Structure 1
Amino acid sequence: MTPASPAAALAHWWASFLPECAPQLFFGRKPGAAATAHLLNLLAQRQVHSQQDAQRFEASLTALAQRALDERGEADTWTDLAPFGLLHRAAQDAGVTLGNASLPVRSRAIARPEGAIARLGPDGPWQQIWPPLP
C-alpha cells in the first residue's frame, strides 16, 4: 500500500510498528545504554498490538496529522520513552493503550505538504517516507 498523502504516510509509518515487536534502538556511550536497550526490547515483546488496533490507530493519526498540516503546515510526531502529542492523542481517540515500548523510543516523523520524513531511534538517519521513492 502506498499512502496517498504525507499525513497518511506518517500515520502508516508509526502504525506499522504496532502489530510487531517495535525495534528499540537506544544508542549512547553512557553506562547503562545497552541495559536500557535490552530492557526496552524485552518490554516491546510484551507490547505487540492487534492488526485492528493498528488500523484504528492509523486512521486516527492520519486525521490528526492532516488537521495539523492544514492548520500549521506541519505534523511533528515523536516518542521519548513514551509516545507524545499527536501519537498519544491518536491512541486515545482510537481506544488503543500504548505502552512505553509499543512504538520505537526516541524516534520522530514529520509531515509537511511537500513530503514526510522519519528517523528511527535517536541517532538514526532521516529517511524519506513520502512521496515514495521511484
Structure 2
Amino acid sequence: MDHAKALSIKGIMTIVVLYLVLGLGFGFTFGNILLITVVLGAVSYLLGDLFILPKTNNITATLADVGVAFLTVWLMALAMGAAADTAVSAAFFAAVAMAVGEYMFHFYMMNKNLGFFNHRRMETRTD
C-alpha cells in the first residue's frame, strides 16, 4: 500500500511538472505528456527511488533521476516527431524541473523507508 501511495504522489508530481514544461512551454499534447509520465514514472521509481536512493543518498539519486528524465523525455520526444533541437531543449528543462520535485520526493521515500535493500542497510549500519 505504501508503494501505491508513493507512486500516486510521484505520478501527480510528474504529470504536473511535465504539463507545465512540455505542454505549456513546448506545445506537447496531453496524450504525449501522459505517455511520457507513465514511462518516466515507472523507470525512475524503480531505478532512482527504489534501487539507487536506498544504496546512496538523496543527491546521487536525484542526479540519476535527472539523467533518466533527460534521456526519457529526449528519446520519447524524438519518437513523437519533435524536431531534434526542440527535443533536447524540452528534455533539458523537464529534467531540471523534475530534479526539484525528485529531491523533495526522496525525503518522503526515506521517511517511509521504501526501497530495495533497506533492510540490509539498516541491519549492517554501525554508526
**Could you say which TM-score interval applies, normalised by the shorter chain?**
0.3 to 0.5
**TM-score normalised according to structure 1 size:** 0.44
Return the index of the structure with the highest Cα Rg. 2
Higher helix fraction (1 or 2): 2
**TM-score normalised according to structure 2 size:** 0.46
